[in-house]
Amino acid sequence: MSDLEPLVSAFAELYLDLMRTVDRRMADQGASLARTKLLLCLQKRGPLRATDIAEFFNQSPRTVTEAIDGLERDGLVERKPDPEDRRAKFIHITAKGNEAAAKTEPLRRQLIDQTFGTLTEEEQAAMLLLLKKVAANLATADHAG
């Protein structure tokens, strides 16, 4: 088998560089990548429990609870009771939260276009196919182990 470390390192470096760039550019506009990621997660997945959010982002429950507290204080999310479990709460994004997430979308789109726009449509399609293939293999390996 060939040495895959350069490939893994390049992938990780690209991801980290992209996240740092997005975070820096969002901070320049008074936004936060961490807050925006949580808001986008709720937009796409719907209301979630804090424990589900923590698992999704691989964060400690305390870290997520503190983030939710801040978002709730700013009126971007709200906690509502779980109808099936009185002790649990679902985190819902508010209209103000949707607006805050939408404000960052043009910047996010611009950075994605700058980063991946150097690839032709064929290269983009091939990269997507390859990433999905690797992701599916990882999911299979994760369930087997």
Per-residue pLDDT of 82-93, as tens digits, reads 888 888 899 999
Strand order in the sheet with 48-49: 48-49, 85-93, 77-82
Considering the domain architecture, whether residues 93 and 66 belong to the same structural domain is answered as: yes
- Rounded Cα distance, 50 and 61, in Å: 7
Residues 41 and 96 in one domain: yes
Please indicate, yes or no, whether residues 24 and 69 belong to a single structural domain of this protein: no
The answer to whether the CB of 79 falls within 8 A of the CB of 90 is yes
Q: What is the pLDDT of residues 129-139, one digit of tens each?
A: 999 999 999 88
Is residue 56 situated within a structural domain? Answer: yes
Report if residue 38 sits inside a domain: yes
| Cα dist from 25 to 19, 33, 35, 41, 88, whole Å | 10, 9, 14, 20, 36
Q: Are residues 101 and 42 in the same domain?
A: yes
| pLDDT at res. 59 | 94
- Over residues 33-51, the mean pLDDT reads 93
Count the domains in the chain: 2
Mean pLDDT of 67-75: 95
What's the pLDDT at 142?
A: 76
pLDDT tens for 120-131 read 999 999 999 999
Residue 126: inside a domain: no
Instruction: Note whether 15 and 40 are same-domain residues.
Output: no
Q: Is 39 among the domain residues?
A: yes
Q: What pLDDT, on the 0 to 100 scale, is given for residue 2? A: 74
Q: Is the pLDDT of residue 1 over 90?
A: no
The three-state secondary structure class of 145 is coil
Q: What pTM did the predictor assign?
A: 0.73
For residue 93, the domain's CATH number is: 1.10.10.10
Q: Are residues 48 and 96 in the same domain?
A: yes
Domain that holds residue 92: 32-106
